[in-house]
Amino acid sequence: PTMPLVEVVRGLATSEATLELVCALAARLGKTPVRCEDGPGFVSNRLLMAMINEAVRTLQEGVADAGAIDGIMRLGMNHPMGPLTLADYLGLDTCLASLNALHERLGERYRPCPLLVTYVQAGWLGRKTGRGFYTYSG
């Protein structure tokens, strides 16, 4: 609901008429449809999970703390929130499940960072548990 994007994915047997209908519906709902072909993770999750995984790896390697990583992506790349804040918002368990699925289909470049696995095993799932890359109260 917060994102203007609707990723419209063409399946193997999807007709042009169906794509046009879905795009028109998305536009009527105030969304921006963007077409792509079917593939693991489509486009958005494929790119997002790679970025989140690399942010976690950057944290694990001690290159920068969570605040610096997120700040650099917000200020330097004009992202509305940093990748670690976003991971906490989505749920670290959800990120891990997505990365595992991508790893299974697309190989090593999507192998989940060990720190992400550790956090999920510890029950640090982000906002929903009060602890992830950041600590949340209330």
> Tens digit of pLDDT for each residue in 101-129?
999 999 999 999 999 999 999 999 999 99
Q: Is the pTM of this model over 0.85?
A: yes
What is the Cα–Cα distance from 123 to 64, expressed in whole angstroms? 23
Q: Which of 78, 80, 75, 94 is nearest to 132 (CA)?
A: 94
Dihedral sign (CA 110, 114, 115, 116):
positive
Q: Quick: pLDDT tens for 38-69.
A: 999 999 999 999 999 999 999 999 999 999 99
